[in-house]
Amino acid sequence: MTVQSGGRDRAPAVWKEPLQQGVWLVGVRGRLDHTSVPALESTLEQLMVAGNTRLVVDFSQASYINSGGLRLLVSVWRRVGREGGGLQLCGLNSRLQEIFEMVGFDQLFELRPALADALDSLTVSSDG
């Protein structure tokens, strides 16, 4: 597990870990804003450069996402889609769910309630 943090006790963190069948989990804790989007971008870029295109971003410990975070997710979604992969988002609390719905991203992204649901969707879609 890799953790990137801004150095403060309450700083947001981004981590990654391999799951199963070539799927990678990227977790976000705290606020996904101008201070933490670069850590998420760097983590996702490292995975994609290494050829990992089946990704789950877990928001179960996140409390907020700004427009930069939303733009990053769209960019990653497009890129992994072009490369035959997939991006699943899981664990959004009601506030994050509301933000995604307000901007119409609930129609773009596959939002899953839990990690297991996202993992099942990625492994089933890759097997078929």
Q: Which of the pair, 7 or 69, is modelled with greater confidence?
A: 69
Question: Does 68 fall in a domain?
Answer: yes
At 21, the pLDDT band (50, 70, 90 cuts) reads confident
Give me the half-sphere count of Cα atoms (radius 13 Å) on the Cβ side of residue 79: 16
Question: Does 1 fall in a domain?
Answer: no
The share of the chain scoring above pLDDT 90, in percent, equals: 80
At 10, the pLDDT band (50, 70, 90 cuts) reads low
Please determine, for residue 115, whether its predicted confidence score (pLDDT) is greater than 60.
yes
User: What's the mean pLDDT in 94-105?
Assistant: 96
Residue 111 lies in domain? 22-32+46-127
Question: Does 10 fall in a domain?
Answer: no
For residue 27, the Cα-to-chain-centroid distance in whole angstroms is: 7
User: What's the mean pLDDT in 71-87?
Assistant: 97
Question: Does 14 fall in a domain?
Answer: no
The CATH number covering residue 55 comes to 3.30.750.24
Please determine, for residue 12, whether its predicted confidence score (pLDDT) is greater than 80.
no
For residue 62, the Cα-to-chain-centroid distance in whole angstroms is: 11
Question: Does 28 fall in a domain?
Answer: yes
Question: Does 59 fall in a domain?
Answer: yes
**pLDDT at residue 126, as a whole number:** 54
Given a contact cutoff of 8 angstroms between Cβ atoms, the answer to whether 37 and 72 are in contact is yes
CA distance 22 to 44: 14
Please determine, for residue 25, whether its predicted confidence score (pLDDT) is greater than 60.
yes
Q: Count up the domains in the chain and report the number.
A: 1
Question: Does 13 fall in a domain?
Answer: no
Question: Does 80 fall in a domain?
Answer: yes
Is 53 strand, coil or helix?
coil
